[in-house]
Chain A
């Protein structure tokens, strides 16, 4: 089994709203100082899904990301979790690429890797929350895709995917090679082991340029973008919150009870 996992470095999605800031002139998020970027949590789960398959069937896992040298940290994290190879695709011509360009770049990188049975991605990146890239990669590679998986199993050269829907579950069977995007219902991503961290630290991570993956420059960067970001604003959801106070929990509970009585459904 040759498995490729696409990962992305993002601003920590658990960053409290108070620390989240936007440069209104340039429509960009201002990353707060001292808070490290993280691997997109859905991508960490895609790594986990790959590791589960490798635990059972063996195989090789390659993680791939796009970005500058700073993305090395998340690649090393995936390596420390148990991935075998890491790869960064980096070029200034990629700057401000939209989801379609990102999907194209990843697909070009994957074509250069050459061999793959299964490609795994997170269902969406928890920064721009689009959930588009995985589908674009699958379309460029001409392989089938199922999104939002909670369970991915390889059985007799096929992949069985259980995925979550709004009100239940669906299981699909796909021929390999295929692309699957992974949802949070997969569970928890494993923590890197001590030995994993040591091994990952010295691992060489190749960096491929746009040229090396034979990029058609008309398909990447800002000018290829099919949409334009006009404004990025921080909305206010705030309400004026009145706190229930009281001498003790009895009094507080009693006040809350009467509030609930007022607002419950009267049949």
Chain B
């Protein structure tokens, strides 16, 4: 595959707006195209894309590829992999960026298998190497215990998924100019073999974890479902959201949408309170962006203290009820 040019961002939208991850990817793509002196483009699929296309341009896309069809209104593993492949073949980017989201996690491997592309999943850093012919991606491996720096092959298309909050969006400007290219009639209809038969959202209580300024998270040390009532109470008093690690999710104490870490959400609150969390790297890797971390754990040697600013080496069952009572009086 020769004549590869530019960077293609696979856009994700919700409610007629670009998702934050797409803003971030466009910001990251702008940094990279500055160096390689090529274009950043954005793929949008679904319906009523004109306003979103404008948003894409103002956030840094030089070109928007549009595929407007009800076939792509909702995510489907078959149709999206087919579409992204088709657009990559038309656009011939050096690099195709997706979020490390539900879409990216599933579509990126299939697309790269079909295109013979290189792939890096869950990248947290991305740069152009000194020859300007390859990209260098940094990604956590071994549950975050190590970081791998991986280069792409010059002359071969590279596909990367990028972790939330790893790249910064540019300040949007309505003065930016961009070209809109409609590819709707150039992509063959997809063959759908995995049919979506049911979809439900997990009821999310209160504040969105990824946007929360304060998070109180409970780990395996909480011990049971009832213990999480205390976590919720403290979160409410502090005006924050409830988070968790993998054990309580696997045990069924809390829904998986609250999981923070490598296989869950990546958070960056001002205050992160870790209760009964041992500090496994796969969790820690999701909270590194926190400004201030307070840990409560009865094991003074727990790994969580190594990554915290303030530690309380005590049983949360002894400490939290007292703290909650005092906070109630102080706040109300």
Which A residues have a C-beta under 8 Å from some C-beta of B?
11, 13-17, 20, 22, 29, 99-100, 103, 126-132, 134-136, 138-140, 144-148, 160-161, 164-175, 178, 183-185, 187-188, 226-235, 237-244, 249-250, 252-254, 256-257, 259-261, 263-265, 267
Chain B contacts of A264 at CB under 8 A?
214, 237-240, 271
Known: A135-B109, A169-B199, A265-B240. A230 touches B311 (CB 8 A): no
How many pairs of A and B residues are in contact by the CB < 8 Å rule? 251
Chain B contacts of A127 at CB under 8 A?
141-142
Interchain residue pairs A-B with the least CB separation, the first 3: A135-B109, A265-B239, A253-B322
Determine if B147 and A238 form an interchain contact, defined as CB atoms under 8 angstroms apart. Answer: no
Known: A241-B311, A244-B311, A265-B239. A172 touches B303 (CB 8 A): no
Chain A interface mostly: mixed
Determine if A174 and B195 form an interchain contact, defined as CB atoms under 8 angstroms apart. Answer: yes
Q: How far is the CA of A15 from the CA of B143 in the complex (A)?
A: 10
Determine if B121 and A22 form an interchain contact, defined as CB atoms under 8 angstroms apart. Answer: no
**Which one of B3-11, B30-38, B55-63, B313-321 is at the A interface?**
B313-321
Q: What would be 18 A-B contacts, judged by CB atoms less than 8 Å apart?
A: A13-B143, A16-B303, A100-B113, A129-B143, A129-B262, A130-B109, A130-B119, A146-B106, A148-B106, A166-B257, A169-B202, A178-B194, A243-B311, A249-B314, A252-B312, A256-B319, A259-B294, A265-B239
Chain B contacts of A240 at CB under 8 A?
309
Determine if B312 and A244 form an interchain contact, defined as CB atoms under 8 angstroms apart. Answer: yes
Which of these, A135, A241, A254, contacts B308 with CB under 8 Å?
A241
Which of these, A172, A228, A261, A267, contacts B330 with CB under 8 Å?
A261
Q: How far is the CA of A138 from the CA of B112 in the complex (A)?
A: 13
Determine if B213 and A253 form an interchain contact, defined as CB atoms under 8 angstroms apart. Answer: no
**Which one of B41-49, B150-158, B171-179, B218-226 is at the A interface?**
B150-158
B40 at interface by CB-CB < 8 Å: no
Who on chain B is nearest to A184 by CB? B250
- 8 Å CB interface, B193-215 against A: 193-202, 204, 213-214
Determine if B323 and A257 form an interchain contact, defined as CB atoms under 8 angstroms apart. Answer: yes
Q: How far is the CA of A103 from the CA of B280 in the complex (A)?
A: 29
Which of these, B118, B147, B249, B310, contacts A235 with CB under 8 Å?
B147
B326 at interface by CB-CB < 8 Å: yes
Given pairs A130-B109, A144-B78, 19 additional interface contacts (CB within 8 A): A22-B146, A130-B119, A131-B109, A167-B257, A168-B202, A170-B196, A170-B199, A172-B195, A172-B197, A187-B250, A226-B112, A227-B119, A227-B151, A228-B151, A237-B284, A239-B308, A241-B295, A243-B305, A260-B327
Interface size bracket, B side: 35 or more
Q: How far is the CA of A169 from the CA of B256 in the complex (A)?
A: 10
Q: How far is the CA of A136 from the CA of B7 in the complex (A)?
A: 24
B182 at interface by CB-CB < 8 Å: no
B101 at interface by CB-CB < 8 Å: yes
Chain B interface mostly: mixed
Who on chain A is nearest to B315 by CB? A249
Q: How far is the CA of A244 from the CA of B326 in the complex (A)?
A: 17
Determine if B198 and A171 form an interchain contact, defined as CB atoms under 8 angstroms apart. Answer: yes
Chain A contacts of B303 at CB under 8 A?
16-17
Who on chain A is nearest to B145 by CB? A20
Q: How far is the CA of A232 from the CA of B306 in the complex (A)?
A: 22
Q: How far is the CA of A167 from the CA of B116 in the complex (A)?
A: 31
Q: How far is the CA of A183 from the CA of B262 in the complex (A)?
A: 13
Who on chain A is nearest to B270 by CB? A263
Chain B contacts of A235 at CB under 8 A?
140, 144, 146-147
Known: A13-B142, A260-B238, A260-B323. A238 touches B200 (CB 8 A): no
Determine if B119 and A132 form an interchain contact, defined as CB atoms under 8 angstroms apart. Answer: yes
- 8 Å CB interface, B242-283 against A: 246, 249-250, 256-257, 262-263, 265, 270-271, 273, 280-282
B288 at interface by CB-CB < 8 Å: yes
Chain B contacts of A128 at CB under 8 A?
141-142, 148
- B310 → A minimal CB distance (Å): 6
- A164 → B minimal CB distance (Å): 5
Determine if A228 and B249 form an interchain contact, defined as CB atoms under 8 angstroms apart. Answer: no
B110 at interface by CB-CB < 8 Å: yes
B292 at interface by CB-CB < 8 Å: yes
Known: A17-B303, A20-B145. A136 touches B109 (CB 8 A): yes
Chain B contacts of A257 at CB under 8 A?
322-323, 326-327, 330
Q: How far is the CA of A227 from the CA of B199 in the complex (A)?
A: 36
Determine if A168 and B271 form an interchain contact, defined as CB atoms under 8 angstroms apart. Answer: no
- B9 → A minimal CB distance (Å): 19
Q: How far is the CA of A216 from the CA of B78 in the complex (A)?
A: 28
Chain A contacts of B170 at CB under 8 A?
none
Determine if A165 and B326 form an interchain contact, defined as CB atoms under 8 angstroms apart. Answer: no
Determine if A188 and B250 form an interchain contact, defined as CB atoms under 8 angstroms apart. Answer: yes
Determine if B198 and A170 form an interchain contact, defined as CB atoms under 8 angstroms apart. Answer: yes
Chain B contacts of A261 at CB under 8 A?
327, 330
Determine if B213 and A29 form an interchain contact, defined as CB atoms under 8 angstroms apart. Answer: no
- B75 → A minimal CB distance (Å): 8
Which of these, B143, B194, B263, B326, contacts A146 with CB under 8 Å?
B194
Which of these, A168, A173, A238, contacts B306 with CB under 8 Å?
A238
Determine if B201 and A168 form an interchain contact, defined as CB atoms under 8 angstroms apart. Answer: yes
Determine if A241 and B310 form an interchain contact, defined as CB atoms under 8 angstroms apart. Answer: yes
Q: How far is the CA of A238 from the CA of B305 in the complex (A)?
A: 9
Determine if A267 and B239 form an interchain contact, defined as CB atoms under 8 angstroms apart. Answer: yes
Chain A contacts of B136 at CB under 8 A?
230
B91 at interface by CB-CB < 8 Å: no
